[in-house]
Amino acid sequence: MANHSNNTAPEESPVILPGHDFETVTEIVAEIPLSKRFPLGWIGLLLIGLGGAGMLHMALGYLVLKGIGIWGNNVPVGWAFDIINFVWWIGIGHAGTLISAILLLFKQQWRMSISRFAEAMTIFAVACAAIFPVFHTGRPWLAAYWLFPYPNTMGLWPQFKSPLIWDVFAVSTYATVSIVFWYVGMIPDMATLRDRAMSKVKATIYGTLSLGWRGSARHWHRYEVATLILAGLSTPLVLSVHTVVSFDFAVSVIPGWHATIFPPYFVAGAIYAGFAMVLTLAIPVRRFYGMESLITMRHIDNMAKITLATGLMVGYGYAMEAFFAWYSASSHEKFMMWNRMFGPYGWSYWTLIAINVVMIQLLWSRKVRQNTTVLFVMSLLIGVGMWLERFVIIVTSLNRDFIPASWGMYYPTQWDFMTFFGTIGLFLTLFLLFLRFVPMISIFEVKMLLPQSKVKADHAH
C-alpha cells in the first residue's frame, strides 16, 4: 500500500502529487477561506451569479403574480422547462453522493480530494432542483405544504399512489441526508479554520460551526462511525432518488414515458451528468486556486472514465428505447420513437445522440482524458446533452401522443429561459460562496493520503 503509487502503470499516477506535508496541505486549502483577499475573477463571477439569481427572483416573482401561463407550457405539453430543469439538476447532484458515499464504502482514496466540493455541488443542485416542483405548480402557495402528509382537521392526505408524492419524499430525504453528510464531514476542517483564524469574528463563526471539535480520539471515533452510517444511508439514495424521479414518467401511460428501463437508465444518466458537472467545476477550480497537486490528473482521469462508463449505459438506454418501440409492436410506441427522431423536435434527438453517444467515445483515448481543455468543453457539452435528453423525453413524448387532434407544439418563452439560467446563476453564486468561505477540499482526509500518515498508520499496527 505504501509504495503503491510508485511502481504501477503510468495511468495509476499518485492521488496527490508528492511534495506535500501536513502543513502545506492545510496551508493551501485553509488559506482561501481565511484570507482577506477577494480575487477580481471571483468577484466578477459572483456578480454574474448574483445577476442570474436576481433574474431568477424576478422570474419567480412574476410567475407567482401571473401564473404558469408566462411560460410556454400548454396542453398537451403540460410539463416542459420546469420538469426538464428539475430532473437535470437532481441528476447533477448524484455525482456528489456517489463520490462521498459509494466511493467511501469502496475505500476509493482518490475521492478524498474532490468529495467536499462534489457534495457541495449536490446540495446546491438539489436546492436549484427543488425550486421547480414547487414553483411549477399552478398554486405554489398551496403546493408547498399540501404535498406533505401533515395531520389536519379535514383528514386530507396526499394521494400516495402518485409518483409526485414519492418525489417529495425522495427529494426531501435526499436533501436532508446530503446536507447532514456534508456538514458532518466538514466539522474537523471547521475546527482547523477556527484554530488558524486570525480575527475574532472568523474564529467565532468557524468555532461555532465546528461544534466544539477538539480532535480527540473519541471525537475521531464518533466521526468515523457517523460518516459510515451516513454513507450507508446515502448509498441507496444514489439509486433511489433518480429511480423515483423516473417513476414520474414510467408510471404514466404516455408513449415515451411508460418504459420499464427508466429507473436504471435515469440513474446512469444522473451519474453521467453529475460527473460531467464535477469535471466542469473541478477543472477551472484546480487551475485558478493552484490545486493541481491535490486534485491531480488521476482524479480527472478517473472521473472521465466514470463519465464514459455511465455514458455508455445511457447510450444503451437510448438503444433499448428504440428497441422497445419496435419490439412492443405498439403503433403508438413506434410513432413516438419515429416522432422523436424525425418529428419537429428531431434536432434535439440527434444533438443528444451526437453528444451522449458519439462524442463521449473520445473518452476512450487517454490523450483526451489528460487534456483538461478538451475535457472541460466536453463536460459542458454533456451538460447540454443531458438537458436535451430530458427535453426529448418530456416534450417530444407529450407533444404528439394518442389523439392527433390534440397534438400541439411547445415553444419556450423568455420566462422559461430566465428561470433556467436564473437557477444556473443561483448555483454559481452558492458555489462561489462555498469556494471562498468553506475549505473546498477535505483537509484532514487529504492528509490521510500523505506518506506521513501512512507511516504512522503502519506503526500503529
Partner 1 sequence: MKPMHADETDPKAHRSMSAPIDIQAVRARLEQQGGPQVWRSLEAVAETTEFKEYLHREFPTNASEWLDPVGRRSFMKLMSASMALAGVTACTVQPTEMIVPYVRQPEEEIPGKPLFFATAMSLGGVASGVLVESHEGRPTKIEGNPDHPASQGATDLFTQGSVLTLYDPDRSQTITQTGEIRPWGAVIAAIRGGLSAQSATKGAGLRILTETVNSPSLAAQIQQVLQSQPSAKWIQWEPMPRDNARAGARTAFGEYLEPVYDLSKADVILSLEADFLASEGASNLHYARQFAGRRKVDESADNLNRLYVVESNHSVTGGRADNRLPIKSSQVETFARAVAQHVGVAGMTGTAPAGSEAFADAVAKDLIAHRGRAVVMCGDSQPPAVHAIAHALNAALGAAGATVSYLPTPEIVPSEQHDALRELVTDINAGRVQMLVIIGEANPVMSAPADFKFADAMNKVALRVHSGLFFDETATLSHWHVPSTHYLEAWGDARSFDGTVSIVQPLIQPLYGGKSAHELIATLSDRPERNGYDVVREYWSASAAAGRSGETSPKPAVAAVAGVGGQAPSGTAPAAVAATAPATPAATFELHWRKWLHDGFIAGSAFAPLVAVVAPDVATRITASAAIEGVEINFRRDETIYDGRFANNGWLQELPKPVTKLTWDNAALMSPSTAEVNQLQTGDIIAIQHDGRTLNVPVWITPGHAKDAITISVGYGRTKAGRVGNGTGFNSYALRGSTAPWHGAATITKTGETYQLVGTQDHWSIEGRNIVRSATLEDFKAKPAFAKQMEHLQLDKRISLYADKEYKGDQWGMAIDMNACTGCSACIIACVAENNIPVVGKLQVSKNREMHWLRIDRYFAGNLDTPDTYYQPMPCQQCENAPCEVVCPVAATVHSDEGLNDMVYNRCVGTRYCSNNCPWKVRRFNFLLFQDWNTPQFKLQRNPDVTVRSRGIMEKCTYCVQRINAARIQAKREDRSIRDGEIVTACQAVCPTEAIVFGNINDPNSKVAKLKASPRNYATLEELNTRPRTTYLAAVRNPNPALPSNAMVGGHHEATESHEPSSPEAGH
- Four-residue CA torsion sign, 326, 79, 405, 342: negative
Q: How far is the CB of 93 from partner 1 (least distance, A)?
A: 22
What CA–CA distances, in Å, run from 303 to 109, 122, 275, 379? 13, 16, 6, 11
Exactly one of 10, 19, 138, 151 binds partner 1 (CB under 8 A); which one? 138
Residue the block writes with cell 511534495: 19
Exactly one of 22, 42, 316, 338 binds partner 1 (CB under 8 A); which one? 338
Q: Please tell me whether residue 76 binds partner 1 under the rule CB under 8 A.
A: yes
Exactly one of 158, 215, 284, 412 binds partner 1 (CB under 8 A); which one? 158
- CB neighbour list of residue 265: distance below 8 Å, 6 or more residues apart: 246, 313, 314, 317, 320
Instruction: Cell numbers for 188, please give them.
Output: 474537523
Q: Please tell me whether residue 189 binds partner 1 under the rule CB under 8 A.
A: no
Residues written for the chain: 461
Q: Please tell me whether residue 13 binds partner 1 under the rule CB under 8 A.
A: no
Q: Please tell me whether residue 156 binds partner 1 under the rule CB under 8 A.
A: yes
Q: In this structure, are residues 440 and 32 in contact, taking their beta carbons and an 8 Å threshold?
A: yes
Smaller CB distance to partner 1: residue 156 or 455?
156
Q: Measure CA of the first residue to CA of the last residue in the chain; give whole Å.
A: 14
CA dist., res. 243 & res. 250, Å (int): 10
Smaller CB distance to partner 1: residue 328 or 351?
328
Q: In this structure, are residues 376 and 383 in contact, taking their beta carbons and an 8 Å threshold?
A: no
Q: How far is the CB of 79 from partner 1 (least distance, A)?
A: 6
CA dist., res. 420 & res. 60, Å (int): 11
Instruction: Cell numbers for 373, please give them.
Output: 481543455
Instruction: Say how many C-beta atoms besides its own lie within 10 A of residue 225's C-beta.
Output: 10
HSE-CB at 291 with a 13 A cutoff on CA atoms is 31
Tell me which residues in 90-119 interact with partner 1 (CB under 8 A): none
Smaller CB distance to partner 1: residue 114 or 337?
337
Exactly one of 32, 101, 103, 147 binds partner 1 (CB under 8 A); which one? 147
- Backbone region of residue 133 per phi and psi (left: phi > 0; alpha: psi in -120 to 50; beta: other values): alpha
Strand locations in 272-333 (E): none
Q: How far is the CB of 255 from partner 1 (least distance, A)?
A: 9
Exactly one of 13, 109, 162, 235 binds partner 1 (CB under 8 A); which one? 162
Q: Which amino acid is at 296?
A: T
Hey, is 33 helix, strand or coil? helix
Tell me which residues in 25-44 interact with partner 1 (CB under 8 A): none
Exactly one of 4, 57, 66, 221 binds partner 1 (CB under 8 A); which one? 66
Q: How far is the CB of 261 from partner 1 (least distance, A)?
A: 19
Q: How far is the CB of 406 from partner 1 (least distance, A)?
A: 4
Smaller CB distance to partner 1: residue 162 or 227?
162
Q: Please tell me whether residue 331 binds partner 1 under the rule CB under 8 A.
A: yes
**Considering only 33-41, 49-57, 64-72, 98-106, which stretch makes contact with partner 1 by CB under 8 A?**
64-72
Tell me which residues in 223-262 interact with partner 1 (CB under 8 A): 248, 251-254
Tell me which residues in 345-404 interact with partner 1 (CB under 8 A): 398, 400-404
Tell me which residues in 402-461 interact with partner 1 (CB under 8 A): 402-409, 411
The CA-based angle 356-361-365, given to 5 degrees, is 145
Instruction: Cell numbers for 209, please give them.
Output: 460551526
Smaller CB distance to partner 1: residue 288 or 323?
323
Smaller CB distance to partner 1: residue 147 or 386?
147
- Residues contributing to the site for partner 1 (CB under 8 A): 66-70, 72-79, 136-140, 142-143, 146-147, 156-159, 161-165, 168, 248, 251-254, 329-331, 334-335, 338-339, 342-344, 398, 400-409, 411
